[in-house]
Amino acid sequence: MSERITLSVIKADIGSIAGHHMVHPDQMATATKILAEAKQKGLIIDFYVANVGDDLQLIMTHTKGPDNPDIHGLAWDAFKAAAKVARELKLYAAGQDLLSEAFSGNVRGLGPGVAELEMEERVSEPVVTFHADKTEPGAFNLPIFRIFADPFNTAGLVIDPKMHDGFIFEVYDVMEGKNVLLNSPEEMYDILALIGTTGRFVIRRVYRKSDNLLSAVVSVERLNLIAGRYVGKDDPVAIVRAQHGLPAVGEILEAFAFPHLVAGWMRGSHYGPLMPVPLRYAKVTRFDGPPRVIALGWNINKGRLIGPVDLFDDVAYDETRRLAQLIAEYMRRHGPFMPHRLGPEEMEYTTLPDVMRKLKDRFVKAEDAYKVVKKEHVS
Ligand code: F6R
Ligand code: MG
Ligand code: MG
């Protein structure tokens, strides 16, 4: 049996240039140097460094399994070094996602987002990694559901005998810290009853039902809950395996052809369309957005990362992007009104408690309001 390979995608926002807008090239170079040294020492087999907006993305392969202290320690070192560069350059929000200065073996819960998938490499192992900015892990609920459960998206669910039994969804309740396993298609309505509440129930893993093959993993960190207060965005990453009894790459990408509304735009407090973009557009400018996602295509070859292919760098997604722009314009015209702005319990910035405190004594019984107005008018 060949050695099991783990694909670890770990990302953090450790400062960016000109606001929360994009990672500085010097930060990328510093992270690259640290991962290159680790590759030379044999800790990791291969790696790639990318960015989406203000999030630095580390894509690594190794044989140490998920949640490994050496791998997480390496990511931590790379983020710390990139944060140091941010401080030296006086970039904005330097080191913001490194919530604790002391690394204790695992970056989970410290701030960085993590998706790790351990696999027995198939004869050919095509994988897509997704990296999003200005949104939250629940943003992947809709596309992951469509990829693995919606026959109108994924033809293979209907016509590929290897996929016809369906998939198992592991859904994570971010409030309670609990997981539930649900079968699709049998329990599809239960799955949807949960994952429609994107701020609370997040698809964490997907398994092929016929043989329990781990098919997809999503990062589920929510920084605002980790820190007990807002310290940064929980911009998510995801790994999806493709082909040969799994959804085809085209079926996986098809789920992003509809720019659905996600939470996390401007100040983590607005809904906007998730726009699929190539790497060259992976920076957020309009109203700090709109929320964006990139898709990188890989073949894993004994742990070597062959690729990436910048999968949304395709005219076939031009109309999706155009629709996203129209939706962005439509949403923006609501200004400070819901449902462009999130509900009060989800906002990462709010003045509501202050405003309520200030106006406390001026709130009177509804029937008295008229008297107050009348009195003030007469005197
Ligand atoms: C950060 C983000 C931005 C900021 C906004 C205000 O990831 O999404 O929209 O929330 O730029 O940032 P501060 O409060 O740092 O000025
Ligand atoms: Mg970000
Ligand atoms: Mg940020």
pLDDT tens track, the chain, 379 positions: 568 999 999 999 999 999 999 999 999 999 999 999 999 999 999 999 999 999 999 999 999 999 999 999 999 999 999 999 999 999 998 988 887 777 777 887 778 999 999 999 999 999 999 999 999 999 999 999 999 999 999 999 999 999 999 999 999 998 888 999 999 999 999 999 999 999 999 999 999 999 999 999 999 877 667 766 655 558 999 999 999 999 999 999 999 999 999 999 999 999 999 999 999 999 999 999 999 999 999 999 999 999 999 999 999 999 999 999 999 999 999 999 999 999 998 888 899 999 999 999 999 988 887 777 777 666 5
Listed residue (228, 218, 215) closest to 184, CA to CA? 215
Helices (H), the chain: 25-41, 69-88, 141-149, 156-159, 188-195, 223-227, 249-254, 265-268, 318-332, 352-359, 366-378
Cα distances from 52 to residues 20, 28, 266, 281, in angstroms, run 11, 11, 16, 9
> Which residues are 271's β-sheet partners?
263
Return the C-alpha torsion angle 104, 107, 111, 117, nearest 10. Answer: -170
CB of 24 sitting under 6 A from ligand 1: no
* Ligand 1 neighbour 19 (Cβ under 6 A): yes
11 is catalytic: no
- Residue 230 designated active-site: yes
Active site residue 13: yes
